[in-house]
């Protein structure tokens, strides 16, 4: 039985592109002739799911060669993109806030493998890779980071405001935790309109201690809204370790009357399984909490070297033992789905794609002044003025 990897709106753009690219590369390099790309494979994920008030999903996860190569390609591209963003920030092509996602890639690709673009996602400011997962391009992210026209928000949002309305990506939100009640509102819309879709409201371990999360959870549970409250537990909120800020760091169990599952967030297959299970559950029963046990390699943002509140050994230990890309590489090699050289070729292709996108983003123009009015009001009021930072100089006037 073949897996239906690419059904209608099943994460189509990124996945189709990725699969097509992987297949083309595979063909050039001659490994496509092996097991068929979509042939079903079953992999046992090593870390058991921990649960609160619910039976766990199976640790036996269905996948395929195409999916595993897709995971590898997507995660590698995300990693390259974030590393490129780091360099561009340091050389002042990117300014302002910038929070990188490297280390957490498995959450993004595993989640997208279980959802389709009619399902909605809303997240915080660590959103570059989420945008790629929703079908965005590296150019859209890079140009947005530089404040240029080809950015997904036309260069007016920046790092914390990636959006893709067409694919139900509601951002990109800078106020910690505020995205969670908004996500519950999106889930309310889905239920009200009788849609067969869920909303993933993502938040961090720091945000998990906020009151608004519990208010949103209450109403979601009361009205059985199809919302997956997804805590990306990277174990730090800025420079504060979880044990300093949370009485109970068992975030999956903090919904009290709402069931929860703790997932190895460094394992794309475990993440996929949890979201597949979660989507079915939430459509039938209402909200579910998913805690993704993950890790960020970079500091909190570009202004944080990330080494004063944790040891270098901690970071290198996670890289060696839990890195999400290396895990999939090992799996692909152990199942003999591709050779090390084939994977290197995919890496080379991803680097080329990111480099090209960076060049294109650099040469993309800045947004015209008159566009600064767009997307602020639905009807721009008369006498609308934008001031410079000193409040003296009027930058734009209607
Ligand atoms: C309401 C509010 N309070 C404080 C901040 C400053 N702030 C930005 S990120 C952050 C830490 C959040 O950590 P976490 O939720 O774990 O997410 P992570 O950065 O680890 O992804 C804080 C305190 C903010 N942006 N909004
Ligand atoms: Mg955190």
Task: Please identify, by atom number, the ligand 1 atom nearest to the C-alpha of residue 177.
Answer: 1
Domains delineated in the chain: 2-363 (3.40.50.970)
Beta-carbon neighbour count of residue 21 at 10 Å? 18
Q: What is the Cα–Cα distance from 130 to 172, expressed in whole angstroms?
A: 9
* pTM of the shown model: 0.91
In 3D space, the residue among 116, 228, 226 whose CA is nearest the CA of residue 167 turns out to be 116
Q: What percent of the chain has pLDDT over 70?
A: 91
The mean pLDDT of 117-121, rounded to a whole number, is 98
Beta-carbon neighbour count of residue 102 at 10 Å? 23
User: Residue 199: helix, strand or coil by DSSP?
Assistant: strand
Is pLDDT of 374 > 90? Answer: no
Q: What confidence category does residue 310 fall into, taking pLDDT thresholds of 50, 70 and 90?
A: very high
Beta-carbon neighbour count of residue 117 at 10 Å? 22
Q: Is the CB of 234 under 6 A from ligand 1?
A: yes
Is pLDDT of 376 > 80? Answer: no
Contact call for residues 310 and 122 (beta carbons, < 8 A): no
Q: What is the pLDDT of residues 251-280, one digit of tens each?
A: 999 999 999 999 999 999 999 999 999 999
Find the 372 Cα to ligand 2 centroid distance in Å.
32
Q: Which residue has the higher pLDDT, 154 or 390?
A: 154
**Atom 6 in ligand 1: residue holding the nearest Cα:** 176
Q: What is the pLDDT of residues 179-200, one digit of tens each?
A: 999 999 999 999 999 999 999 9
Q: Which residue has the higher pLDDT, 12 or 72?
A: 72
Q: What confidence category does residue 35 fall into, taking pLDDT thresholds of 50, 70 and 90?
A: low
Q: What is the Cα–Cα distance from 170 to 177, expressed in whole angstroms?
A: 14
Q: What is the Cα–Cα distance from 281 to 226, expressed in whole angstroms?
A: 8
Contact call for residues 144 and 162 (beta carbons, < 8 A): yes
Q: Is the CB of 74 under 6 A from ligand 1?
A: no
Q: Beta strand 227-233 with 288-293: parallel, antiparallel or unpaired?
A: parallel
Q: Which two tokens stand for residue 1?
A: 């039985």
Q: What is the Cα–Cα distance from 347 to 344, expressed in whole angstroms?
A: 5
pLDDT of residue 384: 77
Q: Is the CB of 174 under 6 A from ligand 1?
A: yes
The mean pLDDT of 281-291, rounded to a whole number, is 98
Q: What are the angstrom distances between the C-alpha of 308 and each of 46, 89, 114, 234, 237?
A: 32, 21, 37, 16, 14
pLDDT of residue 283: 98
Q: What confidence category does residue 398 fall into, taking pLDDT thresholds of 50, 70 and 90?
A: low
In 3D space, the residue among 315, 312, 275, 308 whose CA is nearest the CA of residue 291 turns out to be 275
């Amino acid at each position: 039985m073949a897996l239906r990897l690419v059904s209608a709106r099943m994460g189509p753009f990124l996945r189709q592109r990725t699969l097509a690219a992987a297949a083309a590369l595979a063909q050039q390099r001659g490994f496509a002739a092996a097991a068929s790309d979509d042939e079903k494979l079953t992999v046992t994920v090593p870390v058991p799911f921990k649960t609160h008030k619910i039976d766990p999903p199976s640790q036996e996860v269905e996948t395929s060669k195409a999916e595993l190569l897709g995971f590898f390609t997507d995660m590698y591209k995300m990693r390259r993109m974030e590393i490129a963003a780091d360099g561009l920030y340091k050389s002042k092509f990117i300014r302002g806030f910038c929070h990188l996602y490297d280390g957490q890639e498995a959450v993004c690709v595993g989640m997208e493998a279980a959802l389709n673009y009619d399902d909605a996602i809303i997240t915080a400011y660590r959103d570059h890779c989420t945008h790629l997962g929703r079908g965005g391009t590296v150019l859209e992210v890079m140009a947005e980071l530089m404040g240029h026209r080809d950015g997904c928000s036309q260069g007016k949002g920046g790092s914390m405001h990636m959006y893709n309305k067409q694919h139900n990506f509601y951002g990109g939100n800078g106020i910690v935790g505020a995205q969670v009640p908004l996500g519950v509102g999106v889930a309310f819309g889905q239920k009200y309109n009788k849609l067969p879709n869920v909303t993933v409201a993502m938040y961090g371990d720091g945000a998990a201690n906020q009151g608004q999360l519990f208010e949103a959870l209450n109403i979601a549970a009361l009205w059985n809204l199809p919302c997956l409250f997804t805590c990306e537990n990277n174990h730090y909120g800025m420079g504060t370790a979880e044990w300093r800020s949370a009485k109970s760091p068992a975030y999956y169990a903090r919904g009290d009357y709402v069931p929860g599952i703790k997932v190895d967030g460094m394992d794309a297959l475990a993440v996929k399984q949890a979201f597949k299970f979660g989507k079915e559950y939430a459509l039938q029963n209402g909200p579910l909490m998913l805690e993704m046990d993950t890790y960020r390699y970079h500091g909190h943002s570009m202004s944080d070297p990330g080494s004063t509140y944790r040891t270098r050994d901690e970071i290198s230990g996670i890289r060696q033992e839990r890195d999400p890309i290396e895990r999939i590489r090992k799996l692909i090699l152990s199942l003999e789905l591709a050779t090390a050289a084939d994977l290197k070729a995919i890496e080379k292709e991803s680097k080329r794609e990111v480099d090209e996108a960076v060049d294109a983003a650099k040469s993309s123009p800045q947004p015209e002044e008159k566009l600064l009015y767009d997307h602020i009001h639905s009807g721009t009021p008369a006498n609308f003025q934008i001031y410079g930072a000193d409040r003296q100089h009027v930058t734009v006037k209607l």
